[in-house]
Structure 1
Amino acid sequence: MRVRHNSPALPLLHVLALLRIAAADTCTTIAVNTTIEVATPLALTYVTEQQDYWSTSCAALRPSCIIFPRTAAEVSTVLSVLHANNEPFAVKSGGHNPNNLWSSVAGGPVLSTQRMDGVSVEPATGVITIGPGNRLDEVAAKLQGSGWTFVGGRIGHTGVGGLVVGGGLSYLSAQYGWAASCVLAFDVVLANGTVTRALATENPDLFVALKGGGNNFGVVTAYVVQGYQQDLVLGGNLVFARSSAETSRRILKAVRDFTEHNADNRAAVIVTAERTNLDLVDSWILFLFYDGPEAPPGTFDNFTSIGPTLNTVRTRTYADLLAFSNWVIVPGSVVTIGTETVPLPSAANAEEVMEGIHAHWRNVSGSVLDVPGLVASIAYQPFPRQIARAARAKGPDLIDADDDADRLIIEMNYSFVPQSEYGRMADTMEATYTGVRELVAGWQAEGVLQSNLYLPILMSYGFFRQDYFARLKPESAELAREVASRVDPDGMFRDRTGGWKP
């Protein structure tokens, strides 16, 4: 792959490259030699931005400064300076990934894309250009009234950058594929400061690698995506206040059946069980979505017929729904997220598999109910073959899911207050997702679940101890490695930033 240089570096870069002032730190070099905004630890903008992570464990890592570029040219300047030294660094979009060092760093600079928050739409075509500094609820609000929407995630406070390069599961995925599937072009700055563009006909390998490859190839400064027409939507929550055995059985059956039998690609659900410290709360919270003001009769009957304690599902704007979803964020907490992808069990084996996974989660989460501020949750998210089919129709990506099988994406979360409990809770998270994987392997060996099924994990939900690239198809992982070595031959992103590395 030959990377085309679409934009020259700034004249300042030639000076810096000649000087090779590696002895000076990036923060000082940028502050003294450029007009790019640099916030030091005593500045209010530093404090505000540093607190703006989903997990307090990320906020506890103190960068040497936070740099706020506004343009691709300014990002080029920052990366060129970093390329001339050996400092660790991080790039931050929304800071929603709770893995330490993924968008946070101790002792080096954070490059925050917050100031790169433009959103524009071409009214005739629905082509939308989105800056990486946006969160999903901000994009939806800016598109409100245009008649167009974008394929993003489900929680409004999620940052666009991390979501898209991680693939991105959406309420709209059965219609349009992953969030990354809808990208027409990435504007990206490479490790050496080169500003370029990746699309299907220009830098095509880089284009594919950025769709599910994470932060290994450069800093994306704009996402050009295909938007889709949308009016009002139906969405909200069903809350079941107490998690009885019968309620759990019926809900687990309902989500399995929905995954296999729902034929309306405009409908989507997330089925979540939650319990808190000392089991003061032990409930089910379901997310229902329909891409239209009303769902056809019967669409969600298997869920609503169970008899929720509270039903907030109503017709609203997409922007309102994304903003409404932000209640799921637990401020002031350490957050850990892990995931597994499992084959969808047949109706005959549904009870054994679904209730077996759920019993395992309850057993492991029950061992840490003494942890102050604990909120433990498990989410069962349909991954029907139609999502893979829709993604494949839009071109290749690193996830490359087969479209001949239905799956479930299991997301496991633990949030808690004392950072001193991080080690214990990391082990608990590992025990949770590892136990699910072992159960699945056992059922596959017994013929209860389909064997030899490709089961990639979703990057957005992965725990740092999981090996994301090892779960991809070998050819996808090899493509990521090859592209990374070509666009970043010195391994700047590989060796000096966090995240999964191919």
Structure 2
Amino acid sequence: MALTPPPALDDAGLLSQVLCPAEVAYEERVASYWSNTAKKRPTRILRPASAEELSRDLVTLVNARQLFAVRSGGHSMPEGASNIEDGVTIDLGLIDQIVFDKESETVQVGSGCLWNQVYGELQKHNRAVVGGRAGSVGVGGFLLGGGNAWLTAQRGWACDNIVAAEVVLADGKIVSANRSDHADLLQVLKGGGNNFGIVTRFTLTTVPLDQVWAGILVTPKDTIPKICRMTMDFVTKIKQNTENNLIIVIGYQPDLKDVTAIVLVVNTAGVTDDPIFDEWKELPRITEMIKTTSLYDLSFEATLPKDHYTSWFTLTFKSDPRIMLKASELHDELVASLKSFMPDGDFMSQCTFQPLPMIIAQQSLRAGGNIMGVEDNKSDGILFQVIVIMKTEEQHAFAYAQAKGYVESLKEFAQSIEGGLFRWLYMNYADKSQDVLTSYGPENVKKMREAANHYDPDGVFQKLCPGGWKLPELDD
């Protein structure tokens, strides 16, 4: 049973729009979460329309010692990351202003925006930002988790392109974190999650961008060993070809009743015949859908089905075909296990490989650096994710354990190869059980702890905002 909110919440004259259970608007907001895993039922949903409204209402919540969660787009899957059962969810969806400044070539974006809104507005100016590939993903959570994007090799992680952040602190103070003021806060926000305050607006650098060449090709399972080798070659070449990117998805397709390899390709300059893709074009294919399009239109295609239960885990490892092939073999075992428990057609599973050339860390450092520790990589890498999507809560409980075992087996294999396993984990693909912030390294944990002690000395975002990944205690 949900806890009754403290009387202060109802009597303090909250400025935000307040949604209560059983109201139509409340039910619509709960239903709008991407994954059923996140569809909790808070005692109240607060919808501030500005930083000033949020400031006053956050103070009210803190004074009442009320547990809360913060939602941007509602795409975060781990339980509690953007919603809460016995508490208040602060829904930033009304803070969705987008203002492009031609002179500075920057854009101010409200944290409650979705990326397709941002791309749609910037398309009018032939500009883009380093943002989410799926247009339904929210701006705030994506940026605070780091943000891998089609433009990452060119411009670093999405968070590296934050010029300034408007932040509401736990005491209600509103600050602008930039390179001149509160620079320590700006750095820890770049990958540090919801540990320091609530960001209501980001100022982002933009890039000139008109059309992109992009799409997918689906190839038979027997191409997977070749694709693993080709992926390593691609990662090696990308530092001289930063306008190109790809994602490899090895997935079980219920319609085909088999595993296939799906290759998502992009050239952000709109070039259709870049030699880096010559070998990829020669692969046998089950289907192909590649075309010249816009980043805005593409953002509607890079999506997974919503309204399901979801489990996912992540690793980062050396760009090595042996590790990728092992991931594929373990995925076959995962599919067999899932089939033994749930009917064919009730689930989808994927393991994905995304290039992490060392040039990305170099781009990050040029932009001032983030807090993720990615510069510690000693070789080109792969950002890996395993995803299982299923229909029922019972299936989710089973699949979660299977996916967790899968990633542990792959982690063990990567560790057996010299330099095979990287330390750091990518927050936006991680399960709650994975210790993301510790993976950033002791120096970065120290920076985050010092910033939290300075900007949130009472530990509000550690104690009253339990969702997401919380800061570990420092060793004495």
TM-score normalised over the length of structure 1 = 0.88
Preserved CA contact (<8 Å) 1:131 1:221: yes
Structure 2 equivalent of residue 177 of structure 1: 156
Q: Residue 466 in 1 paired to residue 439 in 2?
A: no
Amino acid in the other structure paired with 1:280: K
Secondary structure of residue in 2 paired with 1:239: strand
Residue 322 (structure 2) pairs with residue 356 (structure 1) = no
The residue identity in structure 1 corresponding to 2:237 is H
Matched, 1:433 2:407: yes
Bigger mean CA deviation after superposition, 147-156 or 215-224: 147-156
Q: 1:290 to 1:29 in 2, by over 3 A?
A: farther
* Cα contact 1:98–1:335 (8 A) shared by 2: yes
Per-residue CA shift, 1:391-415, capped at 9, x if unaligned? 1110121013226520001111011
Residue 331 of structure 1 and its aligned partner are, at CA, apart by: 2.4
- 2:368: which partner in 1? 395
1:91 aligns with 2:67: no
Residue equivalent to 1:14? none
What is residue 16 of structure 1 aligned with on the other side? none
The one-letter code of the counterpart of 1:492 is V
* Residue 151 (structure 1) aligned to one of 121, 124, 130: 130
Per-residue deviation, 1:34: 3.6
Q: Which residue of 2 aligns with 1:367?
A: 337
Task: Determine the C-alpha separation between the residues in 1 that align with 2:401 and 2:392.
Answer: 15
- Pair 1:264 & 2:241 matched: yes
Greater mean deviation of Cα atoms: 363-372 or 67-76: 363-372
Please give the alpha-carbon distance, in whole angstroms, between the structure 1 residues aligned to 2:330 and 2:177.
43
Which digits, 9 at most, give the CA deviation of each residue in 1:149-206, with x for residues without a partner? Answer: 1000211111111100111001101110000000000100011111111111111111
Provide the C-alpha distance between the structure 2 equivalents of 1:353 and 1:203, rounded to a whole number of angstroms: 41
Aligned amino acid, residue 259 of structure 2: D
Give the structure 2 partner of residue 57 of structure 1: 37
- Percent of residue pairs bearing the same amino acid type: 25
Q: How many residues align?
A: 461
**Shift, 1:420, TM fit:** 2.0
Cα distance in 1, alignment partners of residues 74 and 199 from structure 2: 15
Show structure 1 runs of 5+ residues with no match.
1-21, 445-449
Q: CA deviation at 1:321?
A: 0.9
Which residue of 1 is the match for residue 468 of structure 2? 499
CA distance in 1, matches of 2:469, 2:282: 42
Q: CA deviation at 1:454?
A: 4.6
Return 489-498 or 216-225, whichever deviates more.
489-498
Cα gap change, 1:147 to 1:484, in 2 (>3 Å): same
2:373 partner SS: coil
Query: Distance between the aligned counterparts of 1:297 and 1:148, measured in 2?
Result: 22
Q: Which whole-Å deviations, capped at 9, do the CAs of 1:305-342 have from their partners, x for residues lacking one?
A: 1122222111111111112223xx21221012210000
How far residue 257 of structure 1 moved from its aligned partner, in angstroms, is 1.2
Which residue pairs with 1:47 in the alignment?
A: 27
SS of residue paired to 2:76: coil
Please tell me whether the aligned partners of residues 109 and 202 of structure 2 are also in contact (alpha carbons under 8 angstroms): yes
* Counterpart residue identity of residue 499, structure 1: G
CA separation in 1, counterparts of 2:361 and 2:76?
24
Equivalences for 1:158-169 in 2 at 5 Å?
158-169=137-148
Matched residues in 2 for 1:141 and 1:323: separation? Answer: 11
Tell me which amino acid in the other structure corresponds to 1:311.
E
The separation in 2 between residues aligned to 1:118 and 1:401, in whole angstroms, is 31
Aligned with residue 182 of structure 2, among 203, 206, 227:
203
Deviation (angstroms), 1:290: 0.6
TM-score with structure 2 setting the length: 0.93
Contact kept in structure 1, 2:6 and 2:66, CA below 8 Å: no
C-alpha offsets along residues 346-368 of structure 1, whole Å, 9 cap, x if unaligned? xxxx3x33322221222233211
Partner of 2:474: none
CA contact (8 A) 1:364 1:431 kept: no
Cross-structure match for 1:488: 456
Is 2:76 the counterpart of 1:102? no
Give the aligned residue type for 1:337: W
Distance 1:309 1:364, change over 3 A: closer
> What is the aligned counterpart of 1:294 among 246, 254, 271?
271
Q: What CA distance in whole angstroms lies between the structure 1 residues aligned with 2:107 and 2:15? A: 29
Q: Return the match for 1:457 from 425, 437, 445.
A: 425
Task: For 1:320, give the aligned amino acid.
Answer: D
CA offset digits 1:418-455 (Å, max 9, x no partner): 112333222122112211111111122xxxxx26x753
How big is the shift at 1:255?
1.2
Preserved contact between residue 16 and residue 54 of structure 2 (Cα < 8 Å): no
Work out the CA distance in 2 between the residues paired with 1:186 and 1:323: 27
**CA spacing shift, 1:353–1:37, aligned 2, 3 Å:** closer
Matched residue SS, 1:460? helix
The secondary structure found in structure 2 opposite 1:335 is strand
In the alignment, is residue 213 of structure 1 matched against residue 192 of structure 2? yes
Q: Which residue type is aligned with residue 37 of structure 2?
A: S
Alignment of 1:12-161 (within 5 A): 23-26=6-9, 28-29=10-11, 33-59=13-39, 61-161=40-140
SS state of the match for residue 120, structure 1? strand
1:415 is aligned to 2:389: yes
Shift of 1:276: 4.7
Q: Report which stretch shifted further, 117-126 or 288-297.
A: 288-297
Letter in 2 for 1:469: L
Q: Deviations over 1:464-491 (max 9, x none)?
A: 1100012112101111112112212222
1:303 aligns with 2:280: yes
SS of alignment partner, residue 188 of structure 1 = strand
Partner Cα distance (1:302, 1:495) in 2: 52
Deviates more, 1:198-207 or 1:363-372: 363-372
Amino acid at match of 1:43: E
Partner of 1:338: 313
Q: Is the 8 A contact 2:327 2:351 kept in 1?
A: no
CA-CA distance at 1:121 after TM superposition: 0.5
CA distance in 2, matches of 1:25, 1:417: 39
Name the aligned partner's letter for residue 250 of structure 1. K
Opposite residue 230 of structure 2, the aligned amino acid is: A
Change (3 A) 1:264 1:83: same
The amino acid that maps onto 2:224 is: S
The equivalent residue for 1:11 is: none
Q: Does 1:254 align with 2:227?
A: no
CA contact (8 A) 1:41 1:65 kept: yes
1: CA distance, partners of 2:162 / 2:342: 42
**Residues 99 and 464, structure 1, Cα contact 8 Å, conserved in 2:** yes
